Amino acid sequence: SGSEMGIRPFDPESSFFSYPASLHIEELSASIVRSHRETTQYRPEELQALRWKVFSREEIHAYQSKSVDEMWQHCAVRLTDAVQYVVEFAKRIPGFRQLCQNDQIALLKSGSMEVVLVRMSRMFNTENNTVFFDGKFAGTELFKSLACSDLIAAVFEFAHNLCVLRLTEQQMAVFTALVLLNAVDRPCLEDRERVQRARRDVGLALSHILHRDNQGSLQHKLFQRVQELESLCALHIEKLRWFRQLYPLTVHSLFPPLYKELFG
Ligand code: CLR
């Protein structure tokens, strides 16, 4: 097997792509791509058609005039909507589906926010640095009242840098599946080997499609982005702790239960 030969899915130096891709890997990619297509909030054509919709000055001002806790609650609800689609995506990935519930939750705790941020790059317009949020395209200034401009700036920069790589929907699908299965070193996993096997297969699927598309060089660039994701998610959790200290009741009674289960 690949692991016995010392070949790791993300090792840009490895050369397992020269081996004929097994039927299993082909089927796995196809299944992940289908799951992605069925669980995105918006299709690429829809997003393209909506590009002209940007928030007006007045609308931006209305968001900026919200209180800190009001805006946090609003964003937590929007974020949880997006997370819900990611949970649905995860449940349809072969290899994730078969894991016990405990391990699924453990992977979603770290992976769901990461996948939301990768998916954010599909909703990003690099011409004016805006993202499709709440029905229109919004810049960083709209999120001012969250009082965490460092997180917002970093998240926008990440989405921008990923967007310019111009991943196809297929590449995005398999990359996000890999991101979900990436947390193999979490201490709380019950069946680590099963997770490792699933991750190895999805890694092979990603190399396979990148090489099929003659974009093998993307592998290394995507790997760099994965490291940024980890620090962004850590920053999100840190901001949530800060917010919870200031507004414990808002988090307790107004934040979506799924948000608290995964991040709280
Ligand atoms: C991601 C792609 C989804 C639509 C969507 C909805 C909510 C957005 C999210 C995207 C990106 C990240 C986001 C979030 C709202 C708040 C959050 C901008 C665009 C930032 C990072 C703030 C996190 C802290 C909150 C919990 C307060 O299809």
State the complex-level ipTM.
0.96
- Give the pLDDT confidence of 67-121 residue by residue, as tens digits: 999 999 999 999 999 999 999 999 999 999 999 999 999 999 989 999 999 999 9
- Give the pLDDT confidence of 152-184 residue by residue, as tens digits: 999 999 999 999 999 999 999 999 999 999 987
Pocket test for ligand 1, best of 116, 136, 238, 255 (most atoms within 8 A of CB): 116
* CA of residue 153 to ligand 1 center, whole Å: 12
Pocket of ligand 1 (CB under 6 A): 41, 72, 75-76, 78-79, 82, 116, 119-120, 123, 131, 133, 146, 151, 155, 236
- Give the pLDDT confidence of 196-213 residue by residue, as tens digits: 999 999 999 999 999 999
Pocket test for ligand 1, best of 41, 75, 247 (most atoms within 8 A of CB): 75
Give residue 21's pLDDT: 57
Give residue 187's pLDDT: 77
Global pTM reads: 0.91
Cα angle 42, 89, 143; round to 5: 50
- Give the pLDDT confidence of 181-197 residue by residue, as tens digits: 998 777 789 999 999 99
Give residue 3's pLDDT: 38
Residue with tokens 């011409």: 127
* CA of residue 21 to ligand 1 center, whole Å: 37
Residues in the chain: 264
DSSP secondary structure string for all residues of the chain: -TTTTT--TT-TT--GGGSPPPHHHHHHHHHHHHHHHHT-SS-HHHHHHTTT-B--HHHHHHHHTS-HHHHHHHHHHHHHHHHHHHHHHHHTSTTTTTS-HHHHHHHHHHHHHHHHHHHHGGGEETTTTEEEETTEEE-GGGGGGGS-HHHHHHHHHHHHHHHTT---HHHHHHHHHHHHT--TT-TT-S-HHHHHHHHHHHHHHHHHHHHHTT-TTHHHHHHHHHHHHHHHHHHHHHHHHHHHHH-HHHHHHHS-HHHHHHH-
Beta bridge partners of 136: 133
- Give the pLDDT confidence of 32-63 residue by residue, as tens digits: 999 999 999 999 999 999 999 999 999 999 99
The one-letter amino acid code at 67 reads: S
Ligand 1 atom nearest residue 81's Cα: 6
* CA of residue 131 to ligand 1 center, whole Å: 9
Tokens of 81: 């909507």
Ligand 1 atom nearest residue 119's Cα: 2
- Give the pLDDT confidence of 10-28 residue by residue, as tens digits: 544 444 444 455 779 999 9
**60 vs 63: CA distance, rounded Å:** 5
Q: Whose CA is nearest to atom 1 of ligand 1?
A: 120
**10 vs 204: CA distance, rounded Å:** 9
Q: Whose CA is nearest to atom 8 of ligand 1?
A: 79
Contact between residue 92 and residue 99 where contact means Cβ atoms under 8 Å apart: no
